[in-house]
Amino acid sequence: MTSHWKIGFPIREVTNNATLCLAYFGLVRALRSQYGVRSGLPGIVCVIAPCGLPIKPYAEACKSMAHALTRDTLDEFEVLEFDRQKSRAPGKAPRREMDEIDDALKSDFVFAFASNQTAIPPQVLIAADGVIQIEPPTVGHVLGACRLIIGKAPNEADLRIMADAPFDVIGLAIKRGRSIRQIIERVARGVKLREQPALTLSNGPSLDDLCGLGAAADWGRAMARDIADYRAGHIRWEDMDRGVLVSGAPGTGKTTFARALARTCRVPIFIHSLASWQAKGHLGDLLKAMLGAFGEAKQASPSLLFLDEIDAVGDRARQADHNAQYTREVIAALLECLDGAFGREGVIVIGATNYPDLLDPALRRPGRLDRHIVIPLPDLEARTGILRYHLRGALDGEDLTEIATRLEAASGAVIEQVVRDARRLARTARRDMSGADLGAALPPLPRLSEASFERVCVHEAGHFVIGVVLAERAHRYPVNAVVRRESAVGRFGETFFECETTNLSTKAAYLAEITMLVTGLAAEELLLGEFGDGGGGGDGSDLQQATTLAANMEISLGLGDTLIYLASKSSSEVSSLLRTDHALREKVAVTLSACMNEARSLVREHEATVRKVKDMLHDRGVVNVADLCGGDGIFRKGTVPELSQR
């Protein structure tokens, strides 16, 4: 025997409560898409509440809806609520819980409410006739609630203000006997209270106060203009960037950037990480915390949602152990939130990482984290600006260039620490801070011995001279070579190149680039009898770059023995393959050996020039391309490309 629904007009319990009324309208709208409910046939329906909104009002609205059945008895009507934390409350055995669910599923009408599909037990999903997603309250829902509860229809502007407010704020503001003006006042008060996270940022810096952020600051200022236009109704959400991936070395200011962006945009910011979500408990609790974070940000929109160390979610393609399923579920849930399946309008997501290569590529698809911006280590001008900012007006009349120079390759966090230590020295001496305090607070500089400095000069001379010889073939043009006896970061020699990006590189170009990378070692070997460990030891070293290029020729670029594509050009993927593929290691070793032999031959051919450049570096610390090419340069005109004209 079946009963028939009268879905359309809510009963008294709903019309006296704005929260239930809004939930009722959303539920009815969703149920009308479900055939079994429309036709009055018995069925089991899973109902997913809007992202971040509580399931309780929707479940209560559904129970009230049960009175619309023509039968007086509700024995065949069940409303289930699934909350992972509650369903695993202490003292409630899983077996008993499953039995209770099985008994409930025997009813004619079963509605299972949850905040997300992962919270619904498998046996309910298997038995369900459908899973429906409720959308957040619309302007029409707010209009209907006002008509039913206060008997008045607000104007379009007031309706928009109410519809943009958080769900529970609307429900608390709309009460019988209140005027439209009183309701709007309460909505405004509720929205202001919800924006409290932004109030804690009021005394910090904006983007205009910070130095060294580079392209991140430019993007942030453009976003601030877009948010202002969005609030004013001049542009749509679809016209804006939905998110950004910010990467950089530790201490470069990724979190500081996000906070400054919130101040510049005048919006609240919500800071989360996978670690904070994992601290909630098992996978179900993590997913619930994730959805709650997006929901919280949505209620306060426009807002920023900052996800720190986002690479911790992993990459599905690299997971082959017992954690693979866990990683897939976490990434799938995050993609669902980023896609806005549950409504993400007004929420700009900022993902921060030190290791962008470890991020699942799907997270960086347009519409999710639209852009990738690298925050670099600050240059001399930026370091000076960062010093001035943290000094807060102290030492205004002093030249900080020498201090900023000594802090080469230091991050913003390191510079802040130097200023903090200088203040401590001054406090200990019970006096105002001086420039000498800053100098004393600088980290000690590692200094090379004379023999080691000589080796660095030889190494960079090899890079620079053979770089000039191979420039046209490699499409990489030397600018200058620099050596240092002291370095704050242990980088005592560098050769800088300009890369020609308009040409597609051939196999010959890649081999020339690899040869250029190992010529420093070849020069050491020829002039000093053997080479040292300065060509390797870490990411970005000569040997790491040369090995990655040689491997990419084989596995990614079709420039090796076969055309097969095995992996992307990512250095982490290359390293993983090299560790496990003996045949690939052999091919890469052969390529590196051939390039090293060519480098030795070229250094021998240009030994006299390498020695001259070595002496110039030893005496001056820098050699420019004009010192080698054209005019009175070391190379005679016509013997090398006319690089001085580039």
Residues belonging to the active site:
460
E strand or H helix at 519, and its extent?
helix 507-528
Residue 486 is classified by DSSP as B
Residue 601 has, within 13 A of its CA and on its CB side, a CA count of 8
263 with 195: CB under 8 angstroms?
A: no
CA distance 359 to 573: 12
Residue 463's nearest CA partner among 546, 570, 537, 569 is: 546
542 with 595: CB under 8 angstroms?
A: no
Q: Which amino acid is at 376?
A: P
**Strands (DSSP E) along 405-471, which ranges?**
none
Q: What is the DSSP string of 422-439?
A: HHHHHHHTTS---HHHHH
Residue 177 is classified by DSSP as T
For residue 449, CA distances in Å to 360, 380, 456, 613, 623 come to: 45, 26, 11, 20, 21
Helix, coil or strand: residue 363: helix
Q: How many CB atoms lie within 10 A of CB 82?
A: 22
CA distance 554 to 587: 8
- Angle in degrees, 0-180, between the axes of helices 582-605 and 571-580, rounded to the nearest 10: 110
Q: Which are the contacts of 509, defined by CB distance < 8 A and separation ≥ 6?
A: 473, 474, 475, 503
7 with 28: CB under 8 angstroms?
A: yes
CA distance 534 to 610: 18
